[in-house]
C-alpha cells in the first residue's frame, strides 16, 4: 500500500518549452499551460522560423541544437507551442530520446486532470483517443502529479504502444455513443427549462477571466475558483434574480483558448452548446491581460462556430482592480465600446451588470 502511495507523488517533470517568435502571444500562453500542469520549467526558447521543414517542422540544425539543450538542462520532455505532425513528432523523439509534447496534448492533459464528472471524463477520453490514434509510437508521459482525471489510467490508459488501432477505434465508437446519450439528457433539460419559460444567460469567455467567480457572485453558488487555466470543465447552471421579480438561469461554461484543439471542441460540443441555446451571453474579458484583443477574437470565433454569433451579448471588462491607472481603463472602454467595467473580486459594477441583464432580457422577452 505504501509503495502505491509513493508512486502517485512523482518528482516534478522538467520541461524545455519552445515557442516561435511572432506567432500568437510570444510564449506566455504555453508557459501558463505548463505551469497549470505543475511542470518544472527547465528553460523557454523563443526561435525564429523562416520556412517550415518537413522532417522536424524547423531546420535540422536548429532541431539538433534544441535537442542538445534539452540534454544539458536534463529536461524530461520537450514542449512545443505548435502542432508537429505525427511523423515529425517521431523524428523529434528519435533525435532527443525524450517525449515531445505539443500544446494540444498539454491542453488534453489539463482537461484530464480537471475532469470531475462522468460527462467531462467521457469527453476528455474521446479527445485523447482521437489525438493518440495517429500517434501509436509516441512516447507518452503523464504530467499530472495529483491525478484528478483519467489521463494514462482507465479507459484512456488502455491505449499504450501495444494497443492496436482496432481496439482504439472500438473504444472511440463506444465513447461517442455514451456522449450522445449524455447530450440527449442535456436536450431534455433544455426543453424543460424552455417549458418553464425561464430565460438563460450563459457566461462565456477565455479561460481564467473570472467566469466562475462571476457565477458565484451573482448566484451565491460555490463553483471551484482557481487562478489556473481550465478550472471549470462542466457547465454549471444556477437560478438568480437580476431584478426584483425577474428570475433567470445563469450558466457557467468551459473557457476558450487560442487554437483550442478541434478534438476538444468536438468532444465538448454538448457542453459548449449551452451558449448557443442561451437568450443572452455575458462575455467576460480580463482587463489586465495584455493579450485581451486575442482573447476577445478567439471567443467570438468559437461562438460563431457554435452557432451563437447572433445572440445578444454584454461584454464585461473584469479585474479592473488590477489596472494601474484610469487611463488604462479609458483606453479599454474605447476599444470595447458599450462594455461594462467590473471587478468581481470587490463587487464593483455588479449592480449595474444586473440592471443591464434585466434590461436585455426584457428587450428579448
Residues 335-352 pLDDT 10s: 999 999 999 999 999 999
Q: Are 99 and 245 members of one domain? A: no
Evaluate whether residue 1 is within a structural domain: no
Evaluate whether residue 339 is within a structural domain: yes
Share of the chain above pLDDT 90, in %: 40
Domain coverage including residue 68: 10-158
Evaluate whether residue 168 is within a structural domain: no
Q: Are 136 and 232 members of one domain? A: no
* CATH for 81: 3.40.50.11060
pLDDT tens track for 262-278: 677 776 666 677 788 89
Q: Are 207 and 355 members of one domain? A: yes
Q: Are 278 and 151 members of one domain? A: no
Q: Where are the alpha helices (DSSP H) in the chain?
A: 2-8, 28-36, 60-72, 86-96, 103-114, 118-132, 165-196, 211-219, 262-267, 269-272, 292-305, 326-335, 350-364
Q: Are the CB atoms for 211 and 203 separated by under 8 Å?
A: yes
Given strand 100-102, what is the order of strands in its sheet?
40-47, 14-20, 77-80, 100-102
Q: Does pLDDT of 247 surpass 90?
A: no
Q: Are 264 and 131 members of one domain? A: no
Sort 313 into a burial class: Cβ within 10 Å, 0-12 / 13-18 / 19+: buried
pLDDT tens track for 279-334: 999 999 999 998 899 899 989 988 888 888 899 999 999 999 999 888 999 999 99
Q: Are 41 and 91 members of one domain? A: yes
Q: What is the crossing angle of helices 28-36 and 103-114, to 10°?
A: 40
Q: Which three cell numbers stand for residue 292?
A: 485581451
Evaluate whether residue 166 is within a structural domain: no
Site of grid cell 450522445 = 180
Which pLDDT score, from 0 to 100, does residue 257 have?
78
Q: Does pLDDT of 156 surpass 50?
A: no
Q: Are 217 and 343 members of one domain? A: yes
Evaluate whether residue 234 is within a structural domain: yes
Evaluate whether residue 163 is within a structural domain: no
Q: Which three cell numbers stand for residue 219?
A: 448566484
Q: Are 140 and 221 members of one domain? A: no
CA pair distance 212, 254, nearest whole angstrom: 9
Q: Which three cell numbers stand for residue 191?
A: 426543453
Model confidence, pTM: 0.77
Q: Which three cell numbers stand for residue 170?
A: 472500438
Q: Are 152 and 284 members of one domain? A: no
Of 158, 177, 206, the position where a domain reaches its end is 158
Of 140, 158, 176, the position where a domain reaches its end is 158
Evaluate whether residue 298 is within a structural domain: yes
Q: Are 209 and 342 members of one domain? A: yes
Q: Are 248 and 137 members of one domain? A: no
Of 108, 135, 158, the position where a domain reaches its end is 158
Evaluate whether residue 114 is within a structural domain: yes
* CATH for 341: 3.40.50.300
Which pLDDT score, from 0 to 100, does residue 48 have?
87
Q: How many domains does the chain have?
A: 2
Q: Are 282 and 348 members of one domain? A: yes
Q: Does pLDDT of 5 surpass 70?
A: no
Amino acid at each position: 500500500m505504501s509503495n502505491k502511495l509513493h508512486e502517485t507523488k512523482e518528482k516534478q517533470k522538467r520541461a524545455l518549452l519552445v515557442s516561435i517568435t511572432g506567432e500568437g502571444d510570444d510564449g506566455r500562453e504555453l508557459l501558463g499551460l505548463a505551469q497549470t500542469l505543475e511542470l518544472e520549467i527547465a528553460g523557454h526558447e523563443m526561435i525564429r522560423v523562416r520556412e517550415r521543414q518537413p522532417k522536424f517542422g524547423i531546420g535540422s540544425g536548429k532541431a539538433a541544437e534544441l535537442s542538445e539543450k534539452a540534454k544539458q538542462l536534463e529536461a524530461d520532455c520537450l514542449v512545443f507551442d505548435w502542432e508537429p505532425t505525427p511523423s515529425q513528432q517521431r523524428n523529434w523523439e528519435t533525435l532527443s530520446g525524450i517525449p515531445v509534447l505539443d500544446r494540444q496534448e498539454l491542453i488534453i492533459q489539463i482537461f484530464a486532470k480537471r475532469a470531475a464528472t462522468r460527462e467531462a471524463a467521457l469527453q476528455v477520453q474521446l479527445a485523447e483517443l482521437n489525438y493518440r490514434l495517429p500517434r501509436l509510437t509516441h512516447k507518452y508521459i503523464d504530467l499530472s502529479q495529483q491525478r484528478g482525471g483519467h489521463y494514462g489510467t482507465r479507459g484512456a490508459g488502455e491505449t499504450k504502444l501495444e494497443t492496436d488501432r482496432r481496439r482504439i477505434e472500438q473504444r472511440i465508437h463506444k465513447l461517442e455513443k455514451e456522449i450522445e446519450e449524455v447530450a440527449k439528457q442535456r436536450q431534455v433539460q433544455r426543453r424543460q427549462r424552455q417549458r418553464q419559460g425561464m430565460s438563460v444567460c450563459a457566461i462565456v469567455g477565455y479561460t481564467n477571466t473570472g467566469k466562475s467567480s462571476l457565477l458565484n457572485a451573482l448566484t451565491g453558488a460555490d463553483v471551484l475558483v482557481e487562478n489556473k487555466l481550465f478550472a471549470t470543465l462542466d457547465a454549471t447552471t444556477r437560478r438568480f434574480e437580476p431584478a426584483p421579480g425577474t428570475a433567470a438561469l445563469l450558466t457557467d461554461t468551459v473557457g476558450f483558448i487560442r487554437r483550442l484543439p478541434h478534438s476538444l471542441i468536438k468532444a465538448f460540443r454538448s457542453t459548449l452548446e449551452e451558449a448557443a441555446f442561451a437568450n443572452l451571453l455575458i462575455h467576460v474579458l480580463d482587463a489586465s491581460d495584455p493579450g485581451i484583443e486575442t482573447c476577445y477574437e478567439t471567443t467570438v470565433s468559437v461562438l460563431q462556430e457554435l452557432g451563437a454569433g447572433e445572440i445578444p451579448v454584454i461584454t464585461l471588462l473584469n479585474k479592473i482592480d488590477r489596472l494601474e491607472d484610469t487611463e488604462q481603463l479609458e483606453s479599454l472602454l474605447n476599444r470595447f465600446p458599450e462594455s461594462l467595467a467590473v471587478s468581481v473580486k470587490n463587487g464593483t459594477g455588479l449592480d449595474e451588470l444586473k440592471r443591464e441583464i434585466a434590461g436585455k432580457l426584457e428587450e428579448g422577452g
